[in-house]
Amino acid sequence: MRVAIVGGGVAGALLAWRTVRAPGGASVDLFTEGTGGRADASRVSGGLVRAFEPTVEATGPAAESLAEIRSSDVLREWSGYRETGALYVLPGVASVKEPAEVVDAYLPGSAEVVGRDKVVREFPFRTLPADSVAVVERHAGHISPHRLRTAALGAAAEEGVTVHSAAVDAVTQDPAVRTADGRVLRYDRVVVAAGAWTPGLLARSGLPVAGLRTKHIQYSLCAAALDGLGPFVDENSGLYGRPCADGAFLLGLPCDRWGVDPDSVTPDGALAQRVAESARRVFGVSVAVDRTVASCDCYHDPAGLALRSLGPGLHTFTGGSGGAAKTVVSASRKAAAALLA
């Protein structure tokens, strides 16, 4: 089987590696489209990885991915996985019992459900709503999606994947890939895994965007004294973050800017200011923004990195909605199997 994968982010790179190594094998061409050198989501992602998510449906892929990373010397090395633990704080109305049970199935003993008082006592939160509930994970931390992408690209090439740096102008339902220099290359399967560039490429090709859209994402590297706090999400305030190796703390808030051009993303100063103000309110410490990093990602409803069909032989592999780092290991394995079925 001849397979083309368009997109050189962590999703496309891992899918190419998985596909060429799958039983029966395949001839794989990977078109990086130049995204590997841009500030794409793989390059700038904070790389938080944990098993727990607020729903059972989202927890399964995240837990499966993290368990595979932890059990594989290769994936731990490729991704630069650092196990620090993680904290996820939710409003009291949230139901965490069933997702926590899913975590325990993949990572026994990792997750503990705790109340608001224990969070305030053991972590540097100045205050939280009285009914807050939290999940503390021992087996969680962060990876470098860019490092994982780079390693997977190298390994894929060693396994026989042909990596093309030529830009792709369009894909067709033949299925085929039309490069910017006018070549039309036909395959048995074509997968568009170009992240935030996927909706634009599909529209340029005269194909339905299929529920995919882009969204601005950013975080700020801050000077903040948050001793004892590792990777965290606080749904009460919207804040998320993790400590960085240089002593800074990565902090972010969700953004509501949709339909952004991935080639024209610039930092949103007002959002960075809201991050600093929110962190000061939640943690009660001085927070100074040193640098802000902006990019965008491809979102899908329902969210999740998955292989989605656009017709016989034509697929997308994107839609991680800002969380692909947590699920890309398991999602790429499942996508490769489905692609070759």
- What type of residue sits at position 180? A
Stretch 190-212: mean pLDDT, rounded?
95
Tell me which of 246 and 38 has the higher pLDDT. Answer: 246
Token pair of 276 as six digits: 């600093």
Asked if residue 258 has pLDDT above 90, the reply is: yes
44 — pLDDT class (breaks 50, 70, 90): confident
CA distance 164 to 294: 27
Asked if residue 201 has pLDDT above 60, the reply is: yes
162 — pLDDT class (breaks 50, 70, 90): very high
pTM, 2 dp: 0.94
Tell me which of 39 and 287 has the higher pLDDT. Answer: 287
Contact assessment for residue 207 and residue 199, using Cβ atoms and an 8 Å cutoff: no
Asked if residue 319 has pLDDT above 80, the reply is: yes
Stretch 35-57: mean pLDDT, rounded?
82
Token pair of 36 as six digits: 């590997």
Q: What is the pLDDT of residue 166?
A: 86
Stretch 44-70: mean pLDDT, rounded?
95
Q: What is the pLDDT of residue 36?
A: 44
93 — pLDDT class (breaks 50, 70, 90): confident
The phi and psi torsions of 90 (rounded to 5 degrees) equal -130, 160
Asked if residue 37 has pLDDT above 70, the reply is: no
Asked if residue 34 has pLDDT above 80, the reply is: no
Of 30-34, 76-80, 178-182, minimum mean pLDDT range:
30-34
* Angle separating helix axes 145-158 and 10-21, nearest 10 degrees: 30
Query: Percent helix, strand, coil in the chain (nearest 5)?
Result: 35, 30, 35
Q: What is the pLDDT of residue 38?
A: 61
Asked if residue 45 has pLDDT above 90, the reply is: no
Stretch 130-141: mean pLDDT, rounded?
96
Residue 203 Cα to chain centre, angstroms: 23
> 């990565």: which residue's tokens?
250
Q: Give CA angle at 24 (20, 30), nearest 5°.
A: 20
Stretch 246-254: mean pLDDT, rounded?
92
Asked if residue 198 has pLDDT above 50, the reply is: yes
Stretch 104-132: mean pLDDT, rounded?
95
The chain-wide mean pLDDT, for the chain, equals 94
Domain locations along the chain:
1-47+144-211+302-341
Contact assessment for residue 242 and residue 219, using Cβ atoms and an 8 Å cutoff: no
What is 1-47+144-211+302-341's CATH number?
3.50.50.60
> 């325990």: which residue's tokens?
104
247 — pLDDT class (breaks 50, 70, 90): confident
Q: What is the pLDDT of residue 35?
A: 45
Return the percentage of the chain with pLDDT > 90, whole number: 88
For residue 71, give every residue at least 6 positions away whose Cβ sits within 8 Å of its Cβ, in sequence order, or none.
none
Asked if residue 267 has pLDDT above 90, the reply is: yes
Stretch 19-41: mean pLDDT, rounded?
79
Q: DSSP alpha helices (H): ranges in the chain?
A: 10-21, 41-44, 56-71, 73-79, 97-106, 116-122, 145-158, 198-204, 269-283, 324-340
Asked if residue 69 has pLDDT above 50, the reply is: yes
Stretch 311-315: mean pLDDT, rounded?
95
Asked if residue 262 has pLDDT above 70, the reply is: yes
Beta bridge partners of residue 293, listed in sequence order: 219
Q: What is the pLDDT of residue 39?
A: 61
Residues in the chain: 341
